[in-house]
Amino acid sequence: MLREYVAPYRKYLGWSVVLNILSVIFNLFSFSMIMPILKMLFNLDGKEYALIPWSQVKAFDSQALINNLYYYVAQFTGSHGASKTLLFLCLFLCVMTVFKTACYFGAAAVMIPIRTGVVRDMRMKIYNKILSLPIGYFSQERKGDIIARMSGDVQEIENSVTGVLDMFIKNPILIIGYFAAMLIISWQLTLFTIVFAPLMLWLMGAIGRKLKEQSLEAQALWSDTMSQVDETLGGLRVIKAFLAEKKMGRRFYKIIENMRIKNSRVATRQASAHPVSECLGTFMIAVVLWFGGTLILKDNAPIDAPTFIFFMVILYSIIAPIKDLSKAAYSIPKGMASMERINKILESENPIKDAPDAVDIQGFDKGISFKGVSFRYPDGNRDVLKDIDLEIEKGKTIAIVGSSGAGKSTLADLIPRFYDISEGSISIDGKDIRGITIASLRSLMGNVNQDPILFNDTIFNNIAFGVENATREQVITAAKIANAHDFIMEKEEGYDTNIGDRGVKLSGGQRQRISIARAVLKNPPILILDEATAALDTESERAVQVALERLMSHRTTLAIAHRLSTVKNADEIIVLDEGRIVERGKHDQLIEKDGYYKKFYDMQAL
């Protein structure tokens, strides 16, 4: 899964590989200076060296390579003296170290665009997936859980996966390079050394598998934490009204205490990475010292003391990348646990999509038709709507009324395909809406909801939300029609006033009129009003009702009504009860029937 995110940054990976290979080469060159330096310091060099022609030197012939190195050092010493030779070797060691560290830095620096880019791309992909998923998906998922996956889980991937990605490039190169050098120096010592590698790998794998299990549990508890914070912020008024602060505090403490315990276990296992690898590395060094020492003490030893020390320097150097690799191996399962949670969102299927032969609809000429429509939610076992037959002619206003849970909002949500019907058909101008592209279908419609959905932005941008490149004159005209211009101009910054999170700086009536102005600017031929005045006081309702009447003029309107006084003049009133149409007609006709509608009307008149 991570491969697709890294693929656009392949060139950076290539540079990282090249720079890490160079760093290994420079490091080995710098280490190689140790042998002649030691021979000179301890006066071990009583041997005469003759140059072996390079054409006769076989690949990986360590003795020939070391012989020629000593030959050139001896020649330089004979010409310039031991002191200058020692100075030259030390300077060469420093220069090689500078080149090595420069390559280390370069290899790490080129990985930064990958790390930051992968995290950005991942968050963008999750966000776009959230936008593409149907509304029904979010009725089954907690908002806090989704936010946790987009924030905490992505952050964990950055820290645990992309953060150690360079280790998985650098360390294998270092290990392979150093291992090759060790084979060249002494294959016997190298073979003896690698006996301990399977033990290290087994321990890393065992700890890593356990870490992944605990990481999944810890991330799930993080989602619970975010969900409770989201619920608390949304229900703060109720919490305070019912004096439930201590109750919510206890509930939150229980969640974060469980998370602390899980995170402590995960952190403990991660902390074990360094000590475990340190112990194994020290044991390996000790055993190799013993074995190498016995080889040197023998007659006709296959390796001399300076070369053995050179071998030990490389062996000690190989331990560091192995330890880093072990840390990365412990971190990766934690990041992959987060990746699994993210994939639950990314791999979610959207059942509401354009048919292969879907066509664009250019306008609205005749009407909307419901024929035998039934609907049940995917996770439900009962019909929310049953056998709905309804004709909405162009230019007419149809009101939907009924008790809570009767299916009014669900019926309205079926027209723009927020949900797909279970049975029957819905058509616009004779075309089944499932054969029309979703974009062109929804472009015909404007929505005004009971709870106005506004964004933390300026008044201007909220009104112009659904229209690209809207001019200020167009926005002002829409605001005037929505009866909103006067209160907007009373604001210090007018149309440039920021309205806060969900429009918190405005009153309920003002928010609703901004929402109506947004619908006016879109100028849709079909209007869906979902109890647009239900939550308003009488004064605000009057102002909003005037704005709605202007908006509904010359438009086809489906109005879901809670207050029956607002739909008296509708062309037809549909009464729903338990998902079925039980009455229909004009206001006066339904009053005369003395049925469901009359009952609702009398209850509101009291």
Q: What is the pLDDT of residues 80-136, one digit of tens each?
A: 777 887 788 788 878 888 888 898 888 888 888 888 888 888 888 888 888 888 877
Residue type, 202: W
CB 111 within 8 A of CB 165: yes
Structure tokens at 244: 């439930």
Task: Please count the residues of the chain.
Answer: 606
Residue at 343: amino acid letter:
N
DSSP 8-state code for residue 576: E
Which helix H or strand E contains 329, and what residues bound it?
helix 305-346
- How many CB atoms within 10 Å of residue 122? 22
Q: Identical fold at 2-344 and 455-523?
A: no
Rg from Cα positions in the chain: 37
Q: What is the pLDDT of residues 186-196, one digit of tens each?
A: 777 777 777 65
| Farthest CA pair distance, the chain | 124
Q: What is the tens place of the pLDDT at every residue in 314-343?
A: 877 777 777 677 666 666 776 777 777 788
Beta strands in 185-312 (DSSP E): none
Distances (CA, A) of 501 to 304, 492, 504, 534, 540: 75, 18, 6, 22, 21
Q: What is the pLDDT of residue 371?
A: 92
CB 360 within 8 A of CB 121: no
- Here the tokens at position 529 are 């009003």
Backbone angles phi, psi at 533, to 5 degrees: -115, 5
Nearest Cα neighbor of 516 from 448, 437, 429 is 448
Supply the pLDDT for residue 210: 59
- Distance between CA atoms of residues 47 and 30, nearest Å: 23
For residues 514 and 484, is the Cβ–Cβ distance under 8 A? yes
Which of the following CATH numbers is that of domain 455-523: 3.40.50.300, 3.10.350.10, 1.10.10.10, 3.40.190.10?
3.40.50.300
The pLDDT of residue 30: 74
The single-letter code of the amino acid at 511 is R
Strands 556-560 and 385-393, sheet pairing: unpaired
Tokens of 239: 């919490």
CB–CB of 581/388 below 8 Å?
yes
15 CB-near residues (< 8 Å, 6+ apart): 106, 107, 110
The span from the CA of 359 to the CA of 107, in Å, is 52
Residue type present at position 382: R
Distance CA 577, CA 591 (A): 17
> pLDDT tens digits for 20-59?
888 888 887 777 666 666 665 555 555 666 777 777 666 6
Cα–Cα dist 328/317, whole Å: 18
Give the β-pairing of 423-428 and 367-375.
antiparallel
Do 372 and 387 meet the contact criterion of CB atoms below 8 Å apart?
yes
Give the residues of the chain that fall short of pLDDT 50.
Answer: none
List the beta bridge partners of residue 390: 370
Residue 160 amino acid letter: S
529 phi and psi, to 5 degrees?
-110, 115
> Residue 24 in 3-state DSSP?
helix
Q: Residue 33's pLDDT is what? A: 66
Who contacts 229 (Cβ-Cβ below 8 Å, separation ≥6)? Answer: 144
> Spelled out in words, what is the top-level CATH class assigned to the domain 2-344?
mainly alpha
Question: In whole angstroms, what is the distance from residue 222 CA to residue 282 CA?
Answer: 38
**d(C-alpha 283, C-alpha 134), whole Å:** 58
- Residue with structure tokens 């934490």? 225
Each domain of the chain, given as residue ranges in start order, spans 2-344, 455-523
Position 286 scores a pLDDT of 76
Rounded Cα gap, residues 177 and 173, in angstroms: 6
Distances in Å between the Cα of 267 and the Cα atoms of 212, 330, 334 are 12, 10, 10
**Contact (Cβ atoms closer than 8 angstroms) between residue 328 and residue 166:** no
Q: Report residue 265: phi and psi, to 5°.
A: -65, -40
Query: Which residues are bridge partners to 393 per DSSP?
Result: 367
Encode pLDDT of 135-156 as tens digits: 777 767 777 777 777 777 777 7
Backbone angles phi, psi at 372, to 5 degrees: 55, 40
Dihedral pair phi/psi, residue 449, rounded to 5°: -100, 165
Distance (Å, whole) CA 256 – CA 254: 6
Query: Is 171 in a helix, a strand, or coil?
Result: helix
Compute the distance between CA of residue 147 and CA of residue 223 in angstroms, rounded to an integer.
Answer: 8
